A and B are shown apart, each in its own frame.
Chain A
Amino acid sequence: MSELFYSPFFGVALSIFTFWVGVRIQKKTGLVVCNPLLIGVVLTIGVLLLFRIPYEAYDQGAEFISLFLSPATACLAVAIYGKLPLLRRNWLPILVGCTVGSVVSMGSVLLLCRLFGLDEAMTASLLPKSVTTPIAISVSEAHGGIGSITVVAVVLTGIFGSITAPLLIRLFRVREPLAAGLAIGACSHAVGTSRALELGETEGAMSGLAIGVCGIVTVLLSLLLM
């Protein structure tokens, strides 16, 4: 029976279907918590467990989807390229903010991981969790982390940052749109950026820029740290 599921078409179709359900649910509810990726992952795992389909069967198709990860990351360059004039005009605050943000993010993760007594693999998986998923997953796996744990941590962080962004802006009395946008992008990447766009154009653009700059800074930092 389970041989039937050992086809690449099965895994791809299941992934597309569950992700589509996730997108629909988010559109209907408008809630950040209803993240399509999160819903897609939960539904896919649910289907696999319910019908006792081995992960290896699903993986036949998963491989084809994962093939696009690297190209998708590379294409972040197109998004950054569109914002180069903005980067040139505000390069100093952007560079300072993203560097400080990345250092503090990785530093605080490292500290807390030690505090909780997590092992090296877990620590490596969590370290890059504040940057966008494609970069986080590459950094994590390059340093012995577990990619899937990184994905979950990245999505969790993104959702949390996005929900609390307006609250954090008030709590820390951030009045400059530039600072608010970069701070949102630095701690909650693309999920936060969609929220930043709702706050204002400058906030959105800055948040988007922070994704790329923090990503590169984090890669460089990970070389020093590990």
Chain B
Amino acid sequence: MKIICQIGVVFAVCWVSQLIEAALPFPFPASVIGMILLLLLLASGLLRVEHIQEKADFLLANMAFFFLPAGVSIMNYFDLLRSSAVALVVICLVTTVVTFAATAWSIRLTLRLLERRKNRV
């Protein structure tokens, strides 16, 4: 019964997020609204982690599995892929390196500025 209640809580949050998504004038994914909503519920203490722990652990541990069907549906787009497979791979590789460097350097800069300010005070 415990697990069923937890599923109920999480599904209810997801349903409310869908209502919010429908009400918003711009495209904001319901699943992300659900994530923010759940975080607010946890942070405000209205919901305790114990209330959804097992369900969350189950979903998080098996996260990748739930995307399998989404990945399989790529077989409907083989034609599209054939023409842009090279571009797709190149884009994935190049942007990963660029993103890594930009993130690491911006953090290093921030840390140094914080350090300098601390030393001055």
Contact = CB atoms under 8 A, between A and B. Distances in A.
B28 A142 contact: yes
Contacts of B74: 41, 45, 148-149, 151-152
Interface in A159-203: 160-161, 164-165, 168-169, 172, 174, 176, 178-180, 182-184, 186-188, 190
A116 B96 contact: no
Given A78-B53, A100-B106, A219-B28, A137 B76 contact: no
A13 interface: no
Contacts of B77: 146, 148-149
Contact of B91 (A41, A84, A100, A126): A126
Contacts of A68: 59, 66
A164 B92 CA distance: 13
B119 interface: no
A105 B71 contact: no
A130 to B, nearest CB: 6
B13 A101 contact: no
Contacts of B36: 77, 216
A160 B73 contact: no
A72 B106 contact: no
B6 to A, nearest CB: 10
Contact of A188 (B59, B96, B106): B96
B29 A138 contact: yes
A133 B63 contact: yes
Contacts of A18: 68
A204 to B, nearest CB: 15
B28 A164 contact: no
Main secondary structure, interface of A, reads helix
Contacts of A187: 95-97, 99-100, 103
B42 A77 contact: yes
Interface residues of A, number: 102
Contacts of A105: 95, 98-99
A219 B67 CA distance: 19
Given A133-B63, A135-B29, A152-B71, A81 B49 contact: yes
A74 B28 contact: no
Contacts of A81: 39, 42-43, 49
Nearest to B109: A96
Of B27, B37, B71, B102, most A-chain CB atoms within 10 Å:
B71
Contacts of B107: 93, 96-97, 176, 178-179, 182-183
Contacts of A155: 71
A112 interface: yes
Among B10, B55, B95, chain A packs the most CB atoms within 10 A around the CB of B95
A135 B31 contact: yes
Shortest 3 CB-CB contacts between residues of A and residues of B = A138-B29, A62-B69, A74-B34
7 contacts: A37-B71, A41-B74, A74-B13, A116-B90, A137-B67, A143-B27, A183-B100
